[in-house]
Amino acid sequence: MLFDIVTIFPGFFRSPLEEGVLHRAISQGIIRVRTTNPRDFATDRHRTVDDRPYGGGDGMVMKPEPLHAVLEHLKSGGEAGPVILLSPRGELLNQARARDLACFPRIILVCGRYEGVDERFRECCADRELSIGDYVLTGGEIAALVVIDSVSRHVPGVLGCETSAEEESFTDGLLEYPQYTRPPVFNGMAVPEVLMSGDHARIARWRRNEALRITLERRPELLRTARLTHDDREELRRLGWPS
């Protein structure tokens, strides 16, 4: 899978992509990440990509022409895929959207800066807008890294173990159950006995019940859309869920 990033700060991505799971996936050729700087497509000698907003106000706005020229260049060859503008106005990134995006052979991520991008670029060039949360960042680069990481986990071969992504938080609408490892006792706290029982059915039910409990306590709104079985609903009612 190819991630094309449109950014005026291509160096921002070097270090994060040289570590961990993403670095391994890139080294193995499972995913590719490419950056393109809109300054290289500006037509003036100062390589200008921003200007003052019409109507006045603080800050600068990214000009539409260099961004459009980048997209024309990127679309002239290579795999098809959506153009995604990272924006606080976009739909919120979640596990389901990350999984859906992983089905594309390529996505183009446009990183806004300053006060945002010219609205005409937004309307005529972006296929969709994506936000990673209800807060303001200095630019779309951090958001682009989040998208790359969350989407890549659904690309076959990236995690190594194909079941890993299926058992993570939000996959079925719930937060993840607690995890434990050695030692069996730490700071006076023991690993739950069921996890050392070897009874896989009991372990699976315990983990599911813990996921239900934690979700009810911390993110109860998720239960409205989670995939719940009859047993799940019985357990939630036992925990006080009004359903």
Per-residue model confidence as pLDDT tens digits over 49-96: 999 999 999 999 999 999 999 999 999 977 789 999 999 999 999 999
- Give Cα separations from 219 to 11, 170, 177, 215, 223 (angstroms): 37, 11, 13, 5, 8
Instruction: Give the CATH class of 169-238.
Output: mainly alpha
Instruction: Give the CATH class of 2-152.
Output: alpha beta
Residues of the chain with CATH 3.40.1280.10: 2-152
pLDDT band, very low/low/confident/very high, at 163 (cuts 50, 70, 90): low
- What pLDDT does residue 7 have? 98
Residues of the chain with CATH 1.10.1270.20: 169-238
Say how far apart CA 172 and CA 89 lie, in whole Å: 26
pTM for the complete prediction?
Answer: 0.88
161 has a pLDDT exceeding 70:
no
Structure token digits, residue 235: 């357990």
More confident residue, 166 or 84: 84
Say how far apart CA 147 and CA 108 lie, in whole Å: 11
